[in-house]
Amino acid sequence: MIAGIDIGGTSTKLGLVEGDRIVGRTRMATVGHADPDTFADALAAAVRELVDQVGGVLDSVGVGAPNGNQHSGSIVQAPNLPWRADVPLASMLGQRLGVPCVLGNDANAAALGEWRYGAGRGIDDLLVVTLGTGLGSGLIVDGRLLLGPCGNAGELGHTIVVIDGRACTCGRKGCLEAYVSIRGMRETFRELGGEPRVLHREGVLPITEAAQAGVDEALQTFRSTARWLSVGLSNAVAFTTPRRIVLFGGIARNGNLLLGPLKERFQQDLLSIYQGQVDLVLSELPEDDAGILGAAALVSL
Ligand SMILES: [Zn+2]
């Protein structure tokens, strides 16, 4: 069996995968460990414990992490993780567990998860876009996950969609992620003059609830977000010709608030030769499963 590990900013999810099923799972905190070594110790112990519980033999480990570089097996200065330096976690876990360990970036893991187990099954030209705190994406072309020299090819988050637009966390202006992400949507709501008290709670849920209650600025926030995302996706289609685009993450899972206006705009923005040839669908995997299955799928690349 394969251990699939999904490292997030606050919690790390861990599952054992046999065939296409998760046969055991647990989670632990990502934060609160003194250094990467103690984190690796705790993670290896959690893997061993889960293998003992389930009963079976561990063959390999796959890890999906923010800023994971599949070539080096390191997490490279991830802004949302507690460690600033590069962390060679693949070799650290491999040594502790005595099995091969592959580490890749979380957006690629999500893409693989959808391709192997989810809404992208059987589609060899596939774009999977993760909408969350940021915007990540992974691209499968001709039946192969694109990696590039740094392991992060196929990323749309920092493509510029608005010239001289909003400041982005990368230091530039107008990136897609500055508009289409939780942070971006909260900024849009603010710019549209939405009531500040709606934003007292974190995340995108308060805007979703306001939109469901018919609040104009919230509905407009979803429409504007759909507009920017449509530009990003139709550019991606012109450039890489996926046959299917899978949207993954909390922002996408809100009924038709985003998907409705997005589908409408997307058909208008698509190059005419691709009209009707690109499906736009939501992930079919439960959110907790996707990261685990995707990380496990990194092993069999
Ligand atoms: Zn950027």
* 181-202 pLDDT per residue, tens: 999 999 999 999 999 999 999 9
1 vs 255, more confident: 1
Q: Is the pLDDT of residue 73 over 90?
A: yes
Q: Is the pLDDT of residue 12 over 80?
A: yes
Q: Is the pLDDT of residue 235 over 90?
A: yes
Mean pLDDT score of the chain:
93
At 82, is the secondary structure helix, strand, or coil? Answer: coil
Q: What is the pTM of this model?
A: 0.91
Residues 129 and 236 in one domain: yes
* 279 in a structural domain: yes
Two structure tokens written together for 263 = 């589908």
Q: Looking at residue 151, what is its pLDDT? A: 86
Q: What is the mean pLDDT of residues 149-157?
A: 91
Q: Is the pLDDT of residue 286 over 90?
A: no
Q: Looking at residue 153, what is its pLDDT? A: 92
Residues 167 and 105 in one domain: no
Domain count, the chain: 2
Q: Looking at residue 64, what is its pLDDT? A: 95
Question: How many Å lie between the centroid of ligand 1 and the Cα of residue 143?
Answer: 28
Per-residue pLDDT tens for 79-131?
778 887 899 999 999 999 999 999 999 999 999 999 999 999 999 999 999 99
Question: How many Å lie between the centroid of ligand 1 and the Cα of residue 55?
Answer: 45
Strand spans (E) along 142-275? 144-145, 244-248
Residues 32 and 132 in one domain: no
Q: What is the CATH number of the domain that holds 128?
A: 3.30.420.40
What confidence category does residue 75 fall into, taking pLDDT thresholds of 50, 70 and 90? very high
Q: Is the pLDDT of residue 301 over 80?
A: no
Residues 133 and 250 in one domain: yes
Range of the domain at 95: 2-109+288-298
Residues 39 and 95 in one domain: yes
Strand spans (E) along the chain? 2-7, 11-18, 21-29, 60-65, 68-69, 74-75, 101-105, 126-131, 135-141, 144-145, 244-248, 279-282
Per-residue pLDDT tens for 243-275?
999 998 878 877 789 999 999 999 999 999 999
Question: How many Å lie between the centroid of ligand 1 and the Cα of residue 159?
Answer: 7
Q: CB–CB of 97/187 below 8 Å?
A: no
Question: How many Å lie between the centroid of ligand 1 and the Cα of residue 230?
Answer: 17
Question: How many Å lie between the centroid of ligand 1 and the Cα of residue 166?
Answer: 9
Q: Looking at residue 212, what is its pLDDT? A: 95
Residues 218 and 239 in one domain: yes
Question: How many Å lie between the centroid of ligand 1 and the Cα of residue 36?
Answer: 27
* 115 in a structural domain: no
Using CA atoms, how far apart are residues 131 and 250, in angstroms rounded to an integer? 7
Question: How many Å lie between the centroid of ligand 1 and the Cα of residue 158?
Answer: 4
At 168, is the secondary structure helix, strand, or coil? Answer: coil
Using CA atoms, how far apart are residues 177 and 179, in angstroms rounded to an integer? 5
* 153 in a structural domain: yes
Residues 96 and 12 in one domain: yes
Residues 96 and 189 in one domain: no
* 55 in a structural domain: yes
Q: Looking at residue 118, what is its pLDDT? A: 92
Q: How far apart are the first and last CA of the chain?
A: 16
Question: How many Å lie between the centroid of ligand 1 and the Cα of residue 93?
Answer: 31
Using CA atoms, how far apart are residues 152 and 185, in angstroms rounded to an integer? 24
Question: How many Å lie between the centroid of ligand 1 and the Cα of residue 132?
Answer: 15
Question: How many Å lie between the centroid of ligand 1 and the Cα of residue 31?
Answer: 25
Question: How many Å lie between the centroid of ligand 1 and the Cα of residue 96?
Answer: 36
Q: How far is CA 10 from the centre of its chain?
A: 15
* 114 in a structural domain: no
Question: How many Å lie between the centroid of ligand 1 and the Cα of residue 163?
Answer: 12
* 117 in a structural domain: no
Residues 279 and 130 in one domain: yes
Q: Looking at residue 156, what is its pLDDT? A: 96
Query: Residue 122 burial (CB < 10 Å; 0-12/13-18/19+)?
Result: exposed
Question: How many Å lie between the centroid of ligand 1 and the Cα of residue 192?
Answer: 22
Question: How many Å lie between the centroid of ligand 1 and the Cα of residue 137?
Answer: 14
Q: Looking at residue 10, what is its pLDDT? A: 84
Residues 190 and 272 in one domain: yes
Question: How many Å lie between the centroid of ligand 1 and the Cα of residue 183?
Answer: 13
Question: How many Å lie between the centroid of ligand 1 and the Cα of residue 123?
Answer: 29
Question: How many Å lie between the centroid of ligand 1 and the Cα of residue 135?
Answer: 10
Residues 136 and 271 in one domain: yes
Question: How many Å lie between the centroid of ligand 1 and the Cα of residue 129?
Answer: 16
What residues flank ion ligand 1 with Cβ within 5 A?
158, 168, 170, 175
Q: What single letter denotes the amino acid at residue 137?
A: S
Q: Looking at residue 265, what is its pLDDT? A: 96
* 116 in a structural domain: no
CA dihedral for 2, 133, 165, 194, sign (positive or negative): positive
* 177 in a structural domain: yes
Question: How many Å lie between the centroid of ligand 1 and the Cα of residue 106?
Answer: 17
Question: How many Å lie between the centroid of ligand 1 and the Cα of residue 170?
Answer: 4
Looking only at the bridges linking them, the beta strands covering 244-248 and 74-75 are unpaired
Q: CB–CB of 176/135 below 8 Å?
A: yes
Residues 226 and 292 in one domain: no
Q: What is the mean pLDDT of residues 200-220?
A: 95
